[in-house]
Amino acid sequence: MNQQRHNLKLLEAQSHNSMLETLFGSNWEAYAAKVYTHEVFFDFQEEVKFLVNACSVCGYTPPDLVTNFEVSIVEDANKRKRYAVEYNRRTMYVCCACKLFERKGILCNHIIWICSGKFKEIPEKYIMRRWSKNALRNPV
């Protein structure tokens, strides 16, 4: 048990004292490097990488309180798959049909694609406390 606590403290110190390299130069990626632990940042960076290479908006409803987007993404063998993303302007609630955020706690490339133009950085409500560098510093 003591070894596990020691390893946890080492990982926490490493996470706080080193800066991760951003590959794509986006504000969201830089913010994620500051906020997320290393492991979660690398997962987030994979989503950004996939977004840069294969994502595009192929349809949306006219802007209203709730806007529905259809995001097209190239998957294997140039096969395109479409995902519905819903964005509520009043509550700043974003939901994607792939449900990655609900399953893993990180935003999917579909949501990042839609929201990166609307927000300078990742909204706080989409940063799960358990994935942040400060998870252990806050009381449970």
Q: List, as one string, the DSSP characters of 44-80.
A: HHHHHHHHHHHEEEEEEPPSSSEEEEEEEEE-GGG-E
Res 130: pLDDT: 82
Interstrand relation of 93-96 and 55-60 (parallel, antiparallel or unpaired): unpaired
Res 137: pLDDT: 61
| Cα–Cα dist 101/130, whole Å | 13
Are 66 and 78 contacting, i.e. CB atoms less than 8 angstroms apart? Answer: no
| Cα–Cα dist 5/41, whole Å | 22
- Please count the CA atoms within 13 angstroms of the CA of 67 that sit on its side-chain side: 17
| Cα–Cα dist 46/68, whole Å | 25
Res 16: pLDDT: 53
| Cα–Cα dist 78/108, whole Å | 20
Are 110 and 73 contacting, i.e. CB atoms less than 8 angstroms apart? Answer: yes
Given a cut of 70, the residues of the chain with pLDDT beneath it are: 5-25, 53-54, 77, 135-140
